[in-house]
Amino acid sequence: MSAKSFDAIVIGAGQAGPPLVGRLEAAGMKVALVERKFIGGTCVNTGCMPTKTMVASAYAAHLARRAADYGVALSGPVGVDYKRIKARKDKVTNDARGNLEKWIAGLKGCTLYRGHARFESADTVRVGDELLTAPKIFLNTGGRASVPNLPGVNDVPYLTNASMMDLDVLPSHLIVVGGSYISLEFAQMFRRFGSEVTVIEKAPRLTGREDEDTSAAILSILENEGIAVHVGAGDISFAKQGSDIAVTFSADKPAAVGSHVLLALGRVPNTDDLGLDKAGVAVDQRGFVVVDDQLRTNVPGIWAMGDCNGKGAFTHTSYNDFEIVAANLLDNDPRKVSDRIEAYALYIDPPLGRCGMTEAAVKKSGRRALVGQRPMTRVGRAVEKGETQGFMKILADADTGEILGCSVLGPGGDEAIHCVLDLMYAKAPISTLARAMHIHPTVSELLPTIAQELKPLV
């Protein structure tokens, strides 16, 4: 069988693949796009868009239950219609995916292949009965939920972040195994829908990559809503108990028994079934494709973008990977992965926005630093909204004034953080923030005040 020739092949239609296809096609290239499942990848189908749609529904229910706090009288108790919540979520996802599919179909220089791509050699891939060849191949295959081989895990009907999106009944008791970003988002969401929720985390505290004060504040937020949290859990195991599932996690505590179990224990890259060995593409011990600062693999003509390369596990890092690859290939602009600043959010309510270094990382670096912090109880906008959980913290270099990092855990924290993030990209010193005039009343208006009140970090 002769192979069909293209100028480029893009494997995976997540957040980096389609925009790269668009740029390559606009540059006059003949491009093949291969997708084995859903156009849009994790973000559109099982990640950001559907979950944030559900978070919005959960927030509406939570706010309605607090109506009396705002002087609003409701005629009866607040309930949720989970089937309508799911239908709303499905519409958002289907609309986004459908619009992306229509856009791809309109690209005259792009051929979409539905199927599983596997390398036959460094420049040839097989998709079903089709052979495709190109001098440039780009991987955007994403990742999936990790399912560790814990005792009894295969004997119970567990859920992952992806299968949670297909759930059409509200759990009476959801047990979430894992205490990080995805797990806590689901935990609070389903608690607000009306489920009893238990979180089990083996580490000594939640969100272990955050500073201890941030972890403690997140724990307080969840416990204030009636979520049972167990940290420092010992050997975790699973067993059926009638129609329920029992999760044992400590010798001195009774098992948690729930109707549903969500495993949120990290992610693994979708690289194990691509035939990378036939192409000679190197992966690390965790299965991530090894790339350089411009996302090139060890094999000339092959690049890796998004979750499969281990350089980030977010939609925004995947899209930025596309921008880096396109800039280098098409714009003569030598952009690099190392130029970007770590930034992400935790979408509980209130959300956490984070950029740059944590306090712990700054201390470990040994540099002299300054820190400023303010609780949301002293932020007028938060008080006015009746949402005073959380705090803001800024870190700066004591000698140079360089902004090192920021955390905003509070109303609009995922938006307010960009004020600091943009200054960091501009390499502006902390004095620039301190002298800025912000709009009142906002959460962001207190960032200059914090910048004026920095003290030595000890």
> Does the pLDDT at position 303 exceed 90?
yes
Single out the residue of 345, 366, 365, 368 nearest to residue 355, CA to CA.
Answer: 345
Percent of the chain with pLDDT over 70: 100
The contacts of residue 191 (CB under 8 Å, 6+ apart) are 197, 222, 225, 226, 227
CATH 3.50.50.60 fits 4-144+268-339, yes or no: yes
Whole-angstrom CA distances from 33 to 95, 305, 324, 431 are 20, 14, 19, 48
What pLDDT does residue 252 have? 82
Percent of the chain with pLDDT over 90: 97
> Does the pLDDT at position 40 exceed 80?
yes
CATH 3.40.190.10 fits 153-265, yes or no: no
Query: pLDDT confidence of 172, banded at 50, 70, 90?
Result: very high
CATH number of 343-456: 3.30.390.30
Summarize the confidence of residues 421-431 as an average pLDDT: 98
Single out the residue of 362, 375, 445 nearest to residue 403, CA to CA.
Answer: 362
Please state whether beta strands 31-35 and 110-114 pair in parallel, antiparallel, or not at all (unpaired). Answer: parallel
Query: pLDDT confidence of 397, banded at 50, 70, 90?
Result: very high
Which one of the listed residues 173, 316, 418, 440 is annotated catalytic? 440
Query: pLDDT confidence of 435, banded at 50, 70, 90?
Result: very high
Residue with tokens 């108790």: 77
Query: pLDDT confidence of 234, banded at 50, 70, 90?
Result: confident
> Does the pLDDT at position 1 exceed 80?
no
Summarize the confidence of residues 294-313 as an average pLDDT: 97
CA distance 315 to 317: 6
Render pLDDT for 75-96 as a digit per residue (tens, 0 to 9): 999 999 999 999 999 999 999 9
CA distance 119 to 121: 5
Q: Is the peptide bond before 441 cis (omega within 30 degrees of 0)?
A: yes
Summarize the confidence of residues 196-213 as an average pLDDT: 97
- 33 close to 113: Cβ distance less than 8 angstroms: yes
Q: Is the peptide bond before 350 cis (omega within 30 degrees of 0)?
A: yes
The whole-chain average pLDDT of the chain stands at 97
Residue with tokens 């921008």: 323
Query: pLDDT confidence of 31, banded at 50, 70, 90?
Result: very high
Summarize the confidence of residues 126-138 as an average pLDDT: 97
Summarize the confidence of residues 50-79 as an average pLDDT: 96
What pLDDT does residue 251 have? 80
Note whether 153-265 and 343-456 share their fold. no
Residue with tokens 């293209």: 6
In this structure, what token pair is assigned to residue 345?
Answer: 């959010």
Summarize the confidence of residues 35-61 as an average pLDDT: 97
Q: Domain-by-domain residue ranges, the chain?
A: 4-144+268-339, 153-265, 343-456
Summarize the confidence of residues 101-113 as an average pLDDT: 97
The contacts of residue 227 (CB under 8 Å, 6+ apart) are 187, 188, 191, 197, 198, 199
Beta strands (DSSP E) in 105-205 are 110-114, 117-121, 124-127, 130-133, 136-139, 143-145, 173-177, 196-200
In this structure, what token pair is assigned to residue 110?
Answer: 């792009």
Render pLDDT for 242-297 as a digit per residue (tens, 0 to 9): 999 999 998 888 999 999 999 999 999 999 999 999 999 999 999 999 999 999 99
**Residue 236: count of CB within 10 angstroms of its CB:** 21
Any catalytic annotation for residue 418? no
